[in-house]
């Protein structure tokens, strides 16, 4: 089986460079009609120009593909409405969405301003919400949709100086976890990418020898898989330098402490409570609740 996207329409946010550009070029090569969205701002979110998106569209057309450019900000609801309207006017449907757009305002929690914290949440989390909300009814009506959220190792595992970014990025995982259930009966699948790549957002903190090994093109195959007809739903995939790994939220086997439980009881049993030798995973929060009730019945 060869994964292709003939007849499919894709919106890629933040596709004027880096990972988004790589995803856009690859999707177009495999037959998709691509809407290249990019505000054209700096890494910190300042400024803006349509040139970046238009350049990628020119690349796609030069290679024989079909694409249009859009310069809307994903934090602007009216702009997002325009993005989706432009897509529908041009192509009549939306099949694929990659919530790739993002910026950085890195500072330690002690030094980061609440304005910068809010801005990162607005771009990464609410930006993904805004665009997903706008295409959701279209995908439900079509009975078909594939959405990719973009998280980060900073969100999954933490990183010094990125409290705002980490919180927003892990928020996209929570968004996916709920949407995968709401979209299931409508054939709308939602997955999440955790990329490891050298882009404008990371090149200043990576040594030169890492830049080639971590080129965006080695991340894109994971995105193409998550957008495909037979994609899973609810998956988190780390991808970079040709390395791919699924990531899951897990729970220890734990234990039931009967009777009146004290903090001392928890402390005394912490080794067993935190033993991940045989971890448990859940499809939804209901599975976790059901497990607790089963333990109580014993």
Catalytic residues: 165
Buried b (16+ CB within 10 A) or exposed e, 43-56: bebeeeebebbbbb
Burial of 162 (0-12, 13-18, 19+ CB in 10 A): buried
Q: Cα–Cα distances in Å, from 142 out to 100, 190, 194, 195, 200?
A: 23, 15, 28, 29, 36
Name residues whose C-beta falls within 8 Å of residue 174's C-beta, 6 or more positions apart in sequence: none
CB 66 within 8 A of CB 60: yes
The H-or-E segment that residue 206 falls in is none
Query: What are the E-state strand segments in 7-94?
Result: 9-13, 33-37, 66-70
Burial of 141 (0-12, 13-18, 19+ CB in 10 A): exposed
Around Cβ 281, how many Cβ atoms within 10 Å? Answer: 10
Please choose, from the candidates 89, 128, 92, 121, the residue with its C-alpha nearest in 3D space to the C-alpha of residue 105.
121
Pairing relationship of beta strands 9-13 and 96-98 according to DSSP bridges:
parallel
The H-or-E segment that residue 244 falls in is strand 243-247
Retrieve residue 104's tokens: 């950085």
Burial of 79 (0-12, 13-18, 19+ CB in 10 A): middle
3-state secondary structure of 121: helix
């Amino acid at each position: 089986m060869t994964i292709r996207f003939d007849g499919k329409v894709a919106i890629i946010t933040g596709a004027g460079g880096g990972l988004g550009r790589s995803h856009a070029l690859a999707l177009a090569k495999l037959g998709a009609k691509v809407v290249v969205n990019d505000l054209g701002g700096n890494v910190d979110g300042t400024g803006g120009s349509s040139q970046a998106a238009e350049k990628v569209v020119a690349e796609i057309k030069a290679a024989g593909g079909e694409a249009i450019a859009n310069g809307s900000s994903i934090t602007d609801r009216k702009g997002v409405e325009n993005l989706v309207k432009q897509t529908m006017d041009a192509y009549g449907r939306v099949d694929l969405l990659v919530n790739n757009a993002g910026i950085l305002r890195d500072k330690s929690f002690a030094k980061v301003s609440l304005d910068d914290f809010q801005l990162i949440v607005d771009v990464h989390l609410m930006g993904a919400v805004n665009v997903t909300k706008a295409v959701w009814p279209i995908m439900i009506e079509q009975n078909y949709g594939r959405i990719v959220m973009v998280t980060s190792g900073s969100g999954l595992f933490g990183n010094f100086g990125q409290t705002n970014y980490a919180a927003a990025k892990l928020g996209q995982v929570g968004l996916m976890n709920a949407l995968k259930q709401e979209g299931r009966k409508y054939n709308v699948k939602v997955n999440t990418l955790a990329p490891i790549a050298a882009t404008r957002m990371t090149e200043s903190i990576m040594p030169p020898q890492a830049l080639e090994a971590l080129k965006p093109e080695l991340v894109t195959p994971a995105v193409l898989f998550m957008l495909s007809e037979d994609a899973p739903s609810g998956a988190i995939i780390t991808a970079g330098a040709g390395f791919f790994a699924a990531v899951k939220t897990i729970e220890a086997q734990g234990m039931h402490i009967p009777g009146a439980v004290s903090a001392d009881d928890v402390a005394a049993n912490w080794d067993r409570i935190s033993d991940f030798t045989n971890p448990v995973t859940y499809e939804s929060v209901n599975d976790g609740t059901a497990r607790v009730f089963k333990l109580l019945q014993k």
